[in-house]
Structure 1
Amino acid sequence: MYLKKISLLNFKNIAQEELALCPGINCLVGDNGAGKTNVIDAVYYLSMCKSSLAMTDGQSIRHGADFFMAEGQYLTDAGKTESVVCTFSRKGGKVLKRSGKEYERLSDHVGLIPAVIVSPADSALISDAADERRRYLNGFISQLDRSYLCSVMRYNAVLAERNRLLKTSPDETMLGIYDLQLAEHGEKIHARRREFAERLQPAAAEYYRILSGDREQVELHYKSELNDRPFEEVLRAARQKDLVNEFTTSGIHRDDLVLKIGGYPLRKYGSQGQQKSFLIALKLAQYAIVAAEKGEKPILLLDDLFDKLDAGRVEQLIRLVSEDSFGQIMITDCNPTRLRTILDKAGGEYALFTVENGGIKQGDGNPRQDAAHNAAGGETGEDTATSAADGEEQP
């Protein structure tokens, strides 16, 4: 998947900009707060129809404006053109269109434009509670399996009703009905999460080995009560506890993705560099799985790549993502000299953009890449518009 051009209007601190991107590595450089991450987030919006950050759609509107618009023109690996437009206004809400046609449900867009992001916000996967890791799994799997997203949404609805019943007037008959529904949707969710965790484990371990120079061993596994017994049995065993606490205390909404280094919890025993290396390895493993499942290379977004990583690991990462198994990449950094030095050393081709106070100018990248970039920027594709799943609270 290749994003040829992105147009932004009133998106965060960007008043109006249009970028023609190259199919390889695109570098966004500038001071902190200049707007580099905002460009990355706009690309993510066009894939998932929501911000990659913990913020509302309204917070993505430029100060003083009433709406924002992001439009992307894409070329798939099979040569098909796509155009996606995402708009949000304070009065009209969010609209996502493909080929000028609005989606009835935003969730129908998830997976059309695959993207994988590595950003400082990923630290929440290590430092925060288990719901962050469940949210990560949900977003990952939803790009590949639309029925999974439907199961998550239905599970959430039943869980809310069951909790409401527990708080008001618990009725054994209704609890039994809700238990059957939770089990139906929950077992589907559990099976897919467990499958993808098992696929992530060897790939993440191998990428980490490459990044670290084979210095440490990492592992991950999916922790769930359903690993050992059926969901209905789990709910029956927790019934009295649920009645006392007035909410559902067991289920897949309590599951976790356990991350370890050298056999110990990553959160407690991993250095900041080791933790970030693990997160990058995890996202590269996700990238490989999405590419294999979709037959389409996702867009790889690397935000604030150099923070907490030593030069050796950064160079190893750049060499990795410069291989043919990766497609289009967007990288942000506040130090253009450092970034160019590493990219030139890696020997790949790239385009460079300078971001300043929400304004974006194309700089001097690798000359061969600039030629390809200019040629690609002249292509036009049929107008299309697409929509992505909104971030409902997920189990």
Structure 2
Amino acid sequence: MFGKLATYTWLLALPVAVFAKCPGSASLVHAKCELTAEFQNSCADVHEEVLARMNGANGWADPHNGGSYSVISSTDTTVDGTRLTGNKKYTDKFELTFAESSNGCTVSGCSESQVFSVLDMSTNYCNQYNLFCNTAGGCTKVKHDLQYTITTGSCMSHDQSQCVVTAAEKVARWSRTQLIPFLGRSDESCPAVHTQDNFDLDSYVSGKWFIHQQQPTKYLPKEQNFCVYAEYTKMAKKSLLGFTVQVHNYAQEADGTPHDSGKNICAMPDSSKDPAKLNVGPCFLPPVSGVTTGPYWILAYNAEEGYALVSGGQPTIKTPDGCKTGSGVNGSGLWIFSRKQERDEDLLNKVRAIAKAQGFDLSVLNDVDQTNCGSSIVL
């Protein structure tokens, strides 16, 4: 896939806001999430709402898989606490600080897992978000329906749809992920896709790729569809964990907030011996297919015309308009690459036709804005 760009940004320090001091963790490798929320409400109201939810006032219940909160300490300007997951297996720690601002109140927060973890499915984000989210976001208020804007910093993932899950949605998700696969019908109508014949990896990694359309995923949400590019470099020799390609991904949000993977993502051939099928994941974790790495398949590549079609593996989800991959971390995503940053509609339509011929639902693809990106990323 296009490299789990957002999933591993907890390794990076993106100076977009002032974030709270993190509570720390005994595990060297662990997930965390920093956020800052600017409220139109007073700090007294925000503080009161947070504590009311943590204490379960008026029957409030955690909408993220039924976790339970505990207050470690609280002052007028801080709240330190823990959240035990709904399955009673994991406890995360978090700290929130409250500061009056000209518009109301600024809350800076940080939540950290206390055990080895890489993929937290937005849990550390939800640990904080669910303590103040408003009714417009599907949350239940206790005392105050707060108004806010959120900025995330170093954060594993921040998918708000994972934070508030209704009973009906839980049943629907269980049906999609457990019942349908059990009945053997999850991919019965999805044709097997095929990769590029005679694929030349050396040629493919020889230049920068600009992404012009892509499917939203958990680690690359639609909000980051600006100035997206990818670079690949073959390593002189295999890493100790068996990786052979260094991956560098970059994206921006509309306001210019960068998301840069640095040198933390790597790739390696998968077990099929098809040179157009790679597995991608964090360079520092042992590669386990479907757990720490996910499929990255080059379905079409033309060096002369400068395009590529990339999928996060075999699409398995049937839709009215074709098939699609998932939207999570592994086994997700669809991308249209071009060597040129300038948009070429004819080329784009040609690659879309290739994807359609392979059975993909093209409605999952969203445009990437490659304008106003600055000279630093233009070839």
Alignment TM-score, normalising by the size of structure 1: 0.28
The structure with the largest strand share of the pair is 2
